[in-house]
Structure 1
Amino acid sequence: MSHVNKPAKRRRFSLAANIALLPMALTVLFAYVGTMLWTLRVSVSSSRTFPADDFVGAAQYVRLFNNERWLLSLHNLLIYGVLFIAACLVLGFLLAVFIDQKVAAEGVLRTIFLYPYAMSFVATGLVWQWMLNPELGIQEVLHKLGFEHARFDWIIDQDMAIYTVVIATVWQASGLVMALMLSGLRGIDEEMWKAARIDGIPRWRVYVSIVLPMLGPSISTAFVLLFVMVVKVYDAVVAMTQGGPGTASEVPAKFIMDYLFGRANIGLASAASVVLLTTVLAIVVPIYFVRNRASKGKVAR
């Protein structure tokens, strides 16, 4: 009898689990998918202060890419994204390698390196704004130490302001990459290291030729998370520079918020939002399918 009842119990458990997940599924369907579709609809209308029920095709997108401020924000985002992702991956990997050497107080070091990620980007931006303020921060400290000609006023320099945002956010996010990389390093068989030592392979060569390819899943996960952070970067920019000096550190998310609330142009803001969403999907979806096929290939073998 117990064997007969097991399939029925499994069906009841599965039904209960699906019912429990129903509220979340409805939230995703209406709150996320619904708002995305509504944003897409508004982006092809002539909406300004209030949504309009007409259809103007790609007119809002043409206006968007004729807007110099939008093009500048994309340029800044490209610079920021390349530097931010590269620096986080390199620094996170080096920190993970350092901790993987079974150093003393490993738990304390992990906490210290990961702690900045627990802070909000607003708090990070305000702290770094103070540190980079030429009248209060690092530059003033150097002057008091006798280096009177030292300059570190990037935050008020139009050509360098975007790099201050890179510095602040790399400091915050590299600990997350470290944690992901460290979990990958701890999954590598110790026998591989013993074989490499016996063969006399230099340690750096082992990391470059063997370890890094084995960390592919960790690296791709870190890349996706960092890429999403790049696309939605807003808090740190507002807290540090307000997009300035002028529009020197303008980013797409700030452009969208300004046009949505400040200039009451929801049609143009929606078009910009759709462009950002398309960019994210263009990167994330191929990575997801590649990883999915790779995992299925491993199961088949």
Structure 2
Amino acid sequence: MKSVSTPGEAARPVGAPVSRPSVTGHLQAWLPKLVLAPSVVISLCFVYGFMLWTFVLSLTDSRMLPSYDFVGFAQYARLMNNERWWVAATNLGVFGVLFVGLCLVLGAGLAILLDQRIRREGMLRTLYLYPMALSFIVTGVVWKWLLNPGLGIQAMVRGWGFESFTFDWLVDPDMAVYTLVIAAVWQASGFVMALFLAGLRGIDDSILKAAQLDGASLPRVYWRVVMPCLRPVVFSAVMILSHIAIKSFDLVVALTGGGPGYSSDLPATFMYAHAFTRAQIGMGSASAILMLGGVLAILVPYLYSELRSRRHG
């Protein structure tokens, strides 16, 4: 009996019935899509749908309740003329630069320290990572106690006999934003350390030994050889930390409340204050859209670099 076959198929006799996918096969093919469908629909509605709704509200004259009297970009113009918004934006610049920079320096330094295979490495790594397990609310409350001039560090040092010691940043309008930096760096630097440590442990030891055989000192090896190999780690850490800085809300509320006055406001607290406590939903929505633009300005280059590296990898 003759048989016929096509590429990729086994030979079958002429006239034999062609096998067709069964109902079970179709169900198995569609089952993952059916399982993921509710999550996709919920994400589209409650994430991207609300983003679109927020943008629509930013184009309206909404105050206490949403209204659909469209005023174009008037809310954005009001936002640009609002002094408190510019204070929040300036604070975000100061907070973001110091937060990202200090976390990178401390995280890289701690990772290099642990990479020396020191004793009690596991215990130290756990201690450094522990703050990341806390919420920013807990971090804010704890540091509010520590930085309170009448209860915390200042009171403790004065109790030791140094009566002239002053550390009242928490109640100083010019220094309050730096207390946010202290608390945020304390919490996030351990996470950056873990990223750098994972990158360091992924570098081939033969590269380091070759550099040392050529006479390079240990600091020069890390600066000239190791750090260039960790560029993807640095880029990822910058993206994640910048994303955290732009969205910072709970730490500000718990630590300074945006005060004294509104001297330590960030865009997230500005948005909340205007949208929910000052009954200016339109302006609050406009500030939220600008924050979203800042997040996208960080995420889009990151995603582009990831896709490009995979495509050329």
CA distance in 1, matches of 2:92, 2:215: 44
- State the alpha-carbon separation in 1 of the partners of residues 107 and 42 from structure 2: 35
Any idea what the Cα deviations from partners look like across 1:129-169, whole Å, max 9, x if unmatched?
Answer: 11111111111111111111111111111111100110011
Deviations along 1:73-93, one digit per CA (max 9) or x if unpaired, are 000110000000000011011
Q: 1:28-59 CA distances to partner (integer Å, 9 max, x unpaired)?
A: 11111100000000000111111112221110
What residue in structure 2 maps to residue 155 of structure 1? Answer: 170
Match of residue 236, structure 2, among 218, 221, 229:
221
- Residue correspondence of structure 1 range 17-166 to structure 2 within 5 A: 17-166=32-181
Give the Å deviation of 1:14. Answer: 4.4
Label 1:201 to 1:13 Cα distance change in 2 as closer, same or farther (>3 A): farther
SS at match of 1:57: coil
The one-letter code of the counterpart of 1:205 is: R
Which of 161-170 and 203-212 deviates more?
A: 203-212
Percent of aligned positions with the same letter in both sequences?
47
Aligned to 1:186: 201
1:286 aligns with 2:301: yes
- Give, as a single letter, the amino acid of the residue that structure 2 aligns with 1:111: T
| RMSD between superposed Cα atoms in Å | 1.7
Residues 1:243 and 2:258 are matched in the alignment: yes
Looking at structure 2, the residues matched to 13 and 96 of structure 1 have their Cα atoms a distance apart, in angstroms, of 46
The residue type equivalent to 1:284 in the other structure is L
**Distance in structure 2 (CA, Å) of the matches to 1:14 and 1:101:** 50
Deviation, 1:218, is 1.5
Distance in structure 1 (CA, Å) of the matches to 2:161 and 2:29: 71
Find the counterpart in structure 1 of residue 6 from structure 2.
Answer: none
Contact 2:212–2:221, Cα closer than 8 Å, also in 1: no
SS at match of 2:248: coil
Structure 2: segments with no counterpart, 5+ residues: 1-8, 11-18
Amino acid at match of 2:44: L
Corresponding letter in the other structure for 1:96? A
Letter in 1 for 2:187: Q
Indicate the structure with greater helix content. Answer: 1
Gaps of at least 5 residues in structure 1 are: none
1:294 Cα deviation from its structure 2 partner: 2.1
Post-superposition shift, 1:13?
4.4
Q: TM (normalized to structure 1)?
A: 0.94
- For 2:181 and 2:25, the matched residues in 1 are separated by 51
1:189-225 alpha-carbon deviations (Å, 9 max, x no partner): 0111110111111221221222112112221221111
Q: Does 1:232 align with 2:231?
A: no
Larger of the two Rg values belongs to structure? 2
Q: Is contact 2:236-2:302 (8 Å) kept? A: no
CA distance in structure 1 between the partners assigned to 2:228 and 2:169 by the alignment: 37
Q: Secondary structure at the match of 1:48?
A: coil
* TM-score (ref. length: structure 2): 0.90
* Counterpart code for 1:144: G
The CA distance in 1 between the partners of 2:302 and 2:224, in whole Å, is: 22
Letter in 2 for 1:125: G
Match of 1:276 in 2: 291
